[in-house]
Amino acid sequence: MSTNRHLIEQEELMAYLDGELPMDRATETLSHLDLCPECRALAADFRGISQELMAWAVEPPEVGISSEINAALDERLQKRETAKVSSPRLENRVMTNRWVWAGALAIVCVAVGLKLTLTSRNRNADRSPAYPSMASIEQYLMPDRNAEIAMARSAAPDSISHDAAVMVLGRQGYETAIEGKNGFVCVVERSWTSPFNSAQFWNPKVRTPACFNPAAARSILPLTIKRTEMVLAGWSKAQMIDSIKAGFDDKELAAPEPGAMCYMMSRAGYLNDAVGHFVPHLMFYFPPTDKSSWGADLPDSPVTLNPQFQGGPEPITEFVVPVGKWSDGTVAPVM
């Protein structure tokens, strides 16, 4: 692509993809992309690179190996300083000696091998979850009731949550803090609404503000309340799973009502250690449905399948659609 043949520079195209171009220039770029297959291909390449970079995660170094390496480096530095004092020209001689370079390379290889071995060993140790069991109840409670009310309401725009019922977590379970007028119910969910096999299931830092529409308040919220009651009663995961299955068998728990959906547009929430407050989104609940029927998780599809209930005891399929703004009206990053 060159400026002679195209209206946009490569750098501008990258800025456009990052949403950094002024609106008028972005509009021109959009129009040009519409007409230029070459630029569209380039844009697709750039997007692919960005996505790969975003997906690339650098594994943090092991604490143990870091200290070992640091100790070894310190020791070598001390020796080097000593050698400099005793023989200032020794360093130059050493640096030109290819045998020394080969030796250094061998040391590096051994160190890398050692690190990989230890990493592999430690990975097994890492598989033990960071949150193996329930923390003390105090860590899940929010001491300031008003703060929990505000956080719950932040799940949806004020025009919805202002008139919603609000429930807060107490020592006996969720309790109604504010009666609602519009059928919506807002709560701050805790980590135990995650899948039962989630490593975050007992993460006491999780705070997930959600505002359920009336249909979801009647058919999805009872699941949150039931799980919470069982957690606070000290039940094991296996007991909870059995009880939920029995609840559906006995019709104590019901399938999602048609049109059940939920707002999760809070930027104050903390969904888990991996995603923080994630992006603002809406969720839609159905009886078990193949995700392909919504085109979920396919390339460029805005719909994703939420694994919250997938494979769990609750017979529910949950789709997620990100939206452009947080509940306070500020623009959200594109997922």
Partner 1 sequence: MGILGLEGVSEFYRRGKAMNRKMVKTITLRTLALVTVLCAAQPGRAADAKTLYPSMAPLEQYLMERNAEIALARSAAPDSISRDAKVMVLGRQGYETAIEGKNGFVCLVDRAWMGSFENSPEFWNPKNRGPICFNPPAARSIVPITLLRTKLVLAGESKAEIKESMKTAIEKKELPVLEPGGIAYMMSRQGRLNDDAGHWLPHLMFYVPLTDAMTWGAGVPGSPVLLNPQFNGAPEPVTEFIIPVSEWSDGTPAPPDHL
Per CB under 8 A, residues contacting partner 1 are 16-17, 19, 23, 26-27, 30, 33-34, 40, 43-44, 47, 156-160, 182-184, 213-215, 258-259, 261, 263, 265, 280, 282, 284, 286-287, 289, 292-295, 298-303, 321-325, 327, 329, 331, 334-335
Contacts of 318 (CB under 8 A, 6+ apart): 283, 284, 285, 286, 305, 306, 308, 309, 310
The nearer residue to partner 1, 140 or 294, going by C-beta atoms, is 294
If the CB atoms of residues 143 and 329 are measured against partner 1, the closer one turns out to be 329
- Of the candidates 45, 334, 31, the one whose C-alpha atom is nearest the C-alpha of residue 8 is 31
**Closer Cβ to partner 1, 173 or 183, answer by number:** 183
In three-state secondary structure terms, 249 is helix
Report in angstroms how near the CB of residue 34 gets to partner 1 at its nearest: 7
Task: Give the nearest distance from C-beta 82 to partner 1 in angstroms.
Answer: 59
Residue 6 vs 115, nearer CB to partner 1: 6
Q: How far is the CB of 29 from partner 1 (least distance, A)?
A: 9
Name the DSSP class of 177. E
Q: How far apart are the first and last CA of the chain?
A: 28
Nearer to partner 1, 46 or 248 (CB): 46
Minimum distance between the CB of residue 33 and partner 1, rounded to whole angstroms?
6
Q: Are 265 and 151 in contact (CB under 8 A)?
A: no
Buried b / exposed e along 258-295 (16+ C-beta atoms within 10 A): eebbbbbbbbbbbbbeeeebbbbbbbbbbeebebeebe
Residue pair 153/95 in contact by the 8 Å Cβ criterion: no
Phi, psi of 113 (to 5 degrees): -60, -45
Shortest spacing between CB 202 and partner 1, in angstroms = 32
Q: Is the dihedral of CA 13, 19, 21, 26 positive or negative?
A: positive
Nearer to partner 1, 160 or 232 (CB): 160
Question: Smallest distance from the beta carbon of 185 to partner 1, in angstroms?
Answer: 12
